[in-house]
Amino acid sequence: MTLPQPYRLGKCLLLATCSALPLAAGAEKVTYEDHVFPIFEQACTNCHNPDKKKGDLDLTSYPGTMAGGSSGKIAVPGDGGGSRLYSLITHTEEPVMPPKGDKLEKKQADVIRAWIDGGLLETKSSTAKKADRPKIELAVNVDPASKPEGPPPMPADLSLEPAVVGIRAGIVKDMAYSPWAPLLAVTGQKQVLLYNTDSLRLAGILPFPAGQPEVLSFHPSGQYLLAGGGIPGKSGTTITWEIKTGKEVVIAGKEFDSVIAAGLRPDLGGVTTGGPSRLVKLWDTQSGEQFKSIKKHTDWVTSLAYSPDGVLLATGGRGGGAYVWEAATGNEFHTLRAHQKALTAISWRADSNVLATASEDGNVIFWEMNDGKQVKKLAAHGSGVLAFDYARDGHFATSGRDKRVKIWKPDFNLKKELPAFKELVVEVAFSHDGKRLFTADYSGKLEAWDCATFAKVGELNGNPPRIADRLAWYEKELKAAPAAVKAAEEKLKASEAAVAKARQAHQDAVARRDGAKQNIARLKQELAKLGAEAKQLEARRNQLAGPRQQREKALQVAENSLNDHRQALEGARRELANAAPPANPRAEEEKKLVAEAQKCRKLSDEKPEDAGLKRRAEEAERRLADHRRNLLAANQQDDGPAKRVAELEKQLAGSEAKVAEARKAFTETDKEWQGVEKRRAEIAARRKVINPALASHAKKLPEFEKAIKPAQEAIAAREKDLPPLKKALESARNRHAALGRDQKFWMAAAVNTEARAARAEHQRLKGEQDAALAEFKELSRKLGQLRKDLEAVEDPGARKPLLEEIKVVSAKLSDIRTAIDQRAPKLAELEKKAAALKARHAELQQ
DSSP E strand boundaries for 401-503 = 405-408, 414-417, 425-430, 436-441, 446-450, 456-460
Q: What is the pLDDT of residue 142?
A: 56
- Rounded distance, CA 55 to CA 69, Å? 6
Closest by CA position to 313, among listed 361, 369, 394: 369
Alpha-carbon distances, residue 572 vs 349, 539, 576, 589, 643 (angstroms): 151, 50, 6, 17, 9
Q: H-type helices in 334-385, by residue range? A: none
Domain ranges of the chain: 9-117, 144-464, 721-845
- State yes or no: pLDDT of 5 exceeds 70: no
In this structure, are residues 255 and 272 in contact, taking their beta carbons and an 8 Å threshold? no
| pLDDT average, residue stretch 3-20 | 31
Alpha-carbon distances, residue 329 vs 47, 352, 370, 656 (angstroms): 45, 18, 18, 155
For the ranges 77-86, 309-318, 641-650, 657-666, the one whose mean pLDDT is highest: 309-318
pLDDT-based confidence at residue 1 (cuts at 50, 70, 90): very low
Helix (H) / strand (E) element for 635: namely none
pLDDT tens figures, 324-354: 999 989 999 999 988 999 999 999 999 999 9
pLDDT-based confidence at residue 93 (cuts at 50, 70, 90): low
Q: What is the pLDDT of residue 179?
A: 96
In this structure, are residues 86 and 76 in contact, taking their beta carbons and an 8 Å threshold? no
Q: Which of 38-52, 143-157, 222-236 has the lowest mean pLDDT?
A: 143-157
- Rounded distance, CA 262 to CA 288, Å? 15
- State yes or no: pLDDT of 481 exceeds 90: yes
pLDDT-based confidence at residue 51 (cuts at 50, 70, 90): confident
Q: What is the pLDDT of residue 6?
A: 32
Q: What is the pLDDT of residue 197?
A: 98
Q: What is the pLDDT of residue 12?
A: 31
Q: H-type helices in 44-192, by residue range? A: 62-67, 84-89, 106-117
- Rounded distance, CA 59 to CA 79, Å? 19
Helix (H) / strand (E) element for 280: namely strand 279-284
- CA end-to-end distance (rounded Å), the chain: 51
Q: What is the pLDDT of residue 601?
A: 78
Find the farthest-apart pair of alpha carbons in the chain and give their distance in angstroms, rounded: 221
The gap from C-alpha 108 to its chain's centroid, in whole angstroms, comes to: 46
pLDDT tens figures, 357-377: 999 999 999 999 999 999 999
pLDDT-based confidence at residue 139 (cuts at 50, 70, 90): low
DSSP, collapsed to helix, strand or coil, labels residue 317 as: strand
Q: Which of 22-36, 165-179, 344-358, 531-545 has the lowest mean pLDDT?
A: 22-36
- Rounded distance, CA 361 to CA 374, Å? 16
DSSP, collapsed to helix, strand or coil, labels residue 830 as: helix
Mark 725-739 as b/e (b = at least 16 C-beta within 10 Å): beebbeebeebbeeb
pLDDT tens figures, 497-515: 999 999 999 999 999 999 9
- State yes or no: pLDDT of 552 exceeds 50: yes
Q: What is the pLDDT of residue 745?
A: 93
Q: What is the pLDDT of residue 7?
A: 27
**What is residue 33's DSSP assignment?**
I
Q: What is the pLDDT of residue 23?
A: 35
- State yes or no: pLDDT of 13 exceeds 70: no
Closest by CA position to 297, among listed 259, 266, 336, 327: 336
In this structure, are residues 443 and 139 in contact, taking their beta carbons and an 8 Å threshold? no
pLDDT-based confidence at residue 798 (cuts at 50, 70, 90): confident
Q: What is the pLDDT of residue 17?
A: 33
Exposed/middle/buried for residue 819 (C-beta within 10 Å: 0-12, 13-18, 19+): middle
Closest by CA position to 410, among listed 387, 434, 432: 434
HSE-CB for 282 with a 13 A CA cutoff: 21
Q: What is the pLDDT of residue 21?
A: 37
Helix axes 611-634, 641-792, angle to 10 degrees: 160
- State yes or no: pLDDT of 299 exceeds 60: yes
Closest by CA position to 253, among listed 240, 268, 266: 240
Q: What is the mean pLDDT of the chain?
A: 88
Q: Which fold has domain 144-464?
A: Methylamine Dehydrogenase; Chain H (2.130.10)
Alpha-carbon distances, residue 537 vs 681, 685, 687, 717 (angstroms): 11, 15, 15, 57
**What is residue 61's DSSP assignment?**
S
In this structure, are residues 154 and 425 in contact, taking their beta carbons and an 8 Å threshold? no
The 3-class SS string of 514-540 reads HHHHHHHHHHHHHHHHHHHHHHHHHHH
Q: Which of 15-29, 171-185, 636-650, 825-839 has the lowest mean pLDDT?
A: 15-29
* Architecture label for domain 721-845: Orthogonal Bundle (1.10)
Amino acid at 220: P
Q: Higher-confidence residue: 629 or 178? A: 178
For the CA atoms of 650, 653, 658, 662, what is the dihedral angle to 10 degrees? 160
Model pTM?
A: 0.67
Q: What is the pLDDT of residue 300?
A: 97
Q: What is the pLDDT of residue 24?
A: 38
pLDDT-based confidence at residue 251 (cuts at 50, 70, 90): very high
Number of neighbours of residue 326 by Cβ within 10 angstroms: 12
The 3-class SS string of 392-427 reads CCCCEEEEECCCCEEEECCCCCEEEECCCCCCCEEE
Q: Phi first, then psi: give them for residue 331, nearest 5 degrees.
A: -70, 145
Helix axes 467-579, 585-606, angle to 10 degrees: 150
Q: What is the pLDDT of residue 82?
A: 67
Q: Higher-confidence residue: 628 or 796? A: 796
Q: What is the pLDDT of residue 708?
A: 92
Q: Phi first, then psi: give them for residue 5, nearest 5 degrees.
A: -80, 140
Q: Which of 429-438, 556-565, 643-652, 695-704 has the lowest mean pLDDT?
A: 643-652
pLDDT-based confidence at residue 60 (cuts at 50, 70, 90): confident
Cα-based angle 756, 758, 760 (whole degrees, multiple of 5): 65
Q: Higher-confidence residue: 127 or 748? A: 748
For the ranges 6-10, 30-34, 321-325, the one whose mean pLDDT is highest: 321-325
Q: What is the pLDDT of residue 15?
A: 31
Q: What is the pLDDT of residue 94?
A: 67
| pLDDT average, residue stretch 774-779 | 92
Which string of DSSP letters, residue by residue, matches 109-146?
HHHHHHHHHTT--SSTTSPPP--------SS----GGG
pLDDT-based confidence at residue 317 (cuts at 50, 70, 90): very high
Number of neighbours of residue 51 by Cβ within 10 angstroms: 6
| pLDDT average, residue stretch 668-681 | 92
Closest by CA position to 6, among listed 416, 411, 358: 411
Pairing of strands 436-441, 385-390: unpaired
Q: What is the pLDDT of residue 366?
A: 97
Q: Higher-confidence residue: 83 or 712? A: 712
pLDDT tens figures, 179-204: 999 999 999 999 999 999 999 999 99
Mark 756-773 as b/e (b = at least 16 C-beta within 10 Å): bbbbeebeebeeebeebe
**What is residue 69's DSSP assignment?**
B
Residues 6+ apart with CB under 8 A from 585: none
HSE-CB for 270 with a 13 A CA cutoff: 22
- State yes or no: pLDDT of 136 exceeds 50: no
Q: What is the pLDDT of residue 270?
A: 94
